[in-house]
Amino acid sequence: MALTTGEIIDIDDIGPVLFVRSLRARRMNVSIRPIKGVRVAIPRSHSLEDALCFVRSRTGWINEQISIINSARERHRDLLDCHPKLSAEETALLLTTRIRELSKLHALPFNRLYLKDYKSRWGSCSVRNDIGLNIKLARLPDELVDYIMLHELTHIRWRGHGKRFWTMLERLNPGARELDGRMKDYLLEFL
């Protein structure tokens, strides 16, 4: 079988899989996304038959990842029921007010605050001490909102994620490591 651009093939025990020829791929790659589903990038040096064998050999792993995503989708459904979506103005007011309170309380002044709909991050801190926060933070439980804000504010003192960074963050927010682990339960694609 020849593959020109992209083809969806229904694979037993997995379901629909999108196979895409990639000029940049050096090896076959399977990605699983909550909305886009299963996608396989095929390098020029491999055939569609090779890709089908590759996917079938990884059926267990693929189904495990799909199960994790489905479980996360259920958790997010519960979250969305508990934390209704706020208007843009309410979200901006909530996040701006809270980070200013935390900044003042811990003497960690930032330069500017940016609220954006990031696709893959909850927050950021630039070298100019500009803080970027994902507007979707407003949908999380309060302790996780504070954790993300304090995480970014801690970067004002410590840029990396080394021992000093975590020591300071734990001092500002006891249980920070546990909260960091809880953040993995929340996927931006579902919020």
pLDDT at 133: 97
Give yes or no for residue 154 having a pLDDT over 80: yes
How many domains are there within the chain?
2
Give the mean model confidence (pLDDT) for residues 124-140: 94
Query: Do 40 and 17 touch, CB atoms closer than 8 A?
Result: yes
Same domain for 149 and 95: yes
Least confident of 49-58, 87-96, 179-188: 179-188
Does any domain span residue 135? yes
Same domain for 30 and 14: yes
> Between the ranges 69-73, 122-126, 186-190, where is the mean pLDDT highest?
122-126
Give yes or no for residue 78 having a pLDDT over 80: no
Same domain for 72 and 101: no
Same domain for 100 and 31: no
Among 31, 62, 82, residue at a domain's last position: 82
% of the chain at pLDDT higher than 90: 60
Does any domain span residue 52? yes
Same domain for 93 and 111: yes
Give yes or no for residue 158 having a pLDDT over 60: yes
| Domain boundaries, position 17 | 6-82
CATH number of the domain to which 112 belongs: 3.30.2010.10
> Which of 144, 11, 121, 136 is CA-nearest to residue 85?
136
**Mean residue pLDDT across the chain:** 89
At a CB cut-off of 8 Å and minimum separation 6, what does 147 contact?
A: 173, 176, 179, 180, 183
Phi and psi based region of residue 101 (left: phi greater than 0; alpha: psi -120 to 50; beta: remaining): alpha
Among 41, 56, 82, residue at a domain's last position: 82
How far CA 117 is from CA of 62, 184, 187, in Å, comes to 29, 18, 13
pLDDT at 82: 61
Same domain for 139 and 106: yes
Query: Do 145 and 138 touch, CB atoms closer than 8 A?
Result: yes
Its pTM stands at 0.66
